[in-house]
């Protein structure tokens, strides 16, 4: 896991704080009955904030250990326990000792007719798995996969959000307060809006923008179209 995400609190930690902010801790073990609902609020918040901020895609690398005679492997980063979207793979390399050899994508049916074993030269996706050709002739090869990470999983207690944990908590808190008809839901919504605006400004602080083909002015619309107002259901 990268250092930026490690700064964020886990789903389990956010769940505990959300319950505390709602006053459920006083209920003792009975408060666990609300865990599924609270988790759904947090997961919905994570999806919403991630889509709104649209963080810069994160490029990652992982090495998959190959076994002699095995030509199918999962598109999965075992180190970070996350799936890899084959459509977001940038490159695939074979590691043999100190050598790194790029693999070309695409395995034809004619290739598959050759059942010999040798150092893999090509890769493809077959039934959702990595397919290699030729079949590895020995163990010890490594498959270096460079890819763009999707929105991180946010389902287990140890999972961390891919965006500000404070924004995720505030959005979930507003949703929960509106659901339980707490009178201060709108004041928390105002705090969320303010924090979201600050985060968007911070995103652009260190970026440079270049204009091609002439000047175009852009306007930012605020108000009902730009803020987030929550109503009790």
pLDDT band at 24 (very low <50, low <70, confident <90, very high): confident
pLDDT for res 223:
40
pLDDT for res 144:
98
pLDDT for res 218:
40
pLDDT for res 205:
61
Name every residue whose Cβ is closer than 8 Å to that of residue 62 and which is 6 or more positions away in sequence: 77, 78, 79, 80, 84, 144, 145, 147
Q: Which of 171, 71, 80, 177 is nearest to 126 (CA)?
A: 71
- CA separation for the pair 19, 42 (Å, rounded): 11
- Kindly report the average pLDDT of the chain as a whole number: 86
DSSP 8-state code for residue 35: H
* 47: enclosing H helix or E strand: helix 35-53
Higher pLDDT, 123 or 152: 123
Residues in the chain: 233
Rg (CA), the chain: 24
- CA separation for the pair 112, 163 (Å, rounded): 44
- CA separation for the pair 98, 116 (Å, rounded): 25
pLDDT for res 57:
80
| The pLDDT of residue 2 is above 80 | no
Do residues 143 and 67 touch, judged by C-beta distance below 8 A?
no
Per the structure block, which two tokens stand in for 203?
Answer: 């995103």
- CA separation for the pair 113, 125 (Å, rounded): 17
- CA separation for the pair 11, 66 (Å, rounded): 33
pLDDT for res 233:
42
- CA separation for the pair 108, 68 (Å, rounded): 21
pLDDT for res 208:
54
How far from chain centre, in Å, is Cα 92? 21
pLDDT for res 212:
54
Per the structure block, which two tokens stand in for 225?
Answer: 């179209």
Q: Residue 168, by phi and psi: left (phi above 0), alpha (psi -120 to 50) or beta?
A: alpha
| The pLDDT of residue 228 is above 90 | no
- Alpha carbons within 13 angstroms on the beta-carbon side of residue 131 total 13
Calculate the CA dihedral of residues 64, 67, 73, 79 and round it to 10 degrees: -30
Do residues 73 and 92 touch, judged by C-beta distance below 8 A?
no
């Amino acid at each position: 896991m990268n250092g930026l995400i490690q700064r964020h609190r886990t789903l389990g930690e956010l769940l505990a704080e959300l319950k505390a902010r709602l006053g459920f801790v006083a209920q003792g073990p009975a408060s666990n009955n609300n865990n599924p609902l609270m988790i759904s609020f947090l997961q919905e918040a994570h999806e919403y904030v991630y889509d709104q901020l649209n963080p810069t895609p994160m490029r990652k690398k992982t090495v998959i250990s190959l076994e002699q005679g095995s030509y199918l492997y999962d598109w999965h980063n075992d180190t970070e326990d996350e799936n890899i979207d084959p459509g977001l793979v940038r490159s695939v390399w074979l590691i043999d000792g100190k050598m790194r050899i790029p693999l070309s994508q695409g395995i034809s049916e004619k290739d598959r007719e050759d059942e010999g074993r040798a150092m893999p030269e090509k890769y493809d996706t077959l039934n959702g798995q990595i397919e290699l050709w030729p079949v590895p002739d020995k163990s010890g090869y490594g498959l270096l996969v460079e890819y763009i990470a999707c929105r991180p999983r946010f389902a287990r207690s140890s999972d961390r959000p891919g965006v500000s944990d404070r924004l995720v908590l505030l959005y979930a808190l507003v949703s929960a307060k509106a659901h339980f008809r707490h009178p201060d839901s709108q004041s928390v919504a105002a705090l969320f809006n303010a924090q979201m605006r600050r985060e968007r400004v911070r995103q652009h602080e260190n970026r440079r923008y270049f204009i091609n083909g002439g000047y175009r002015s852009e306007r930012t619309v605020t108000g009902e179209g730009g803020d987030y107002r929550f109503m009790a259901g």
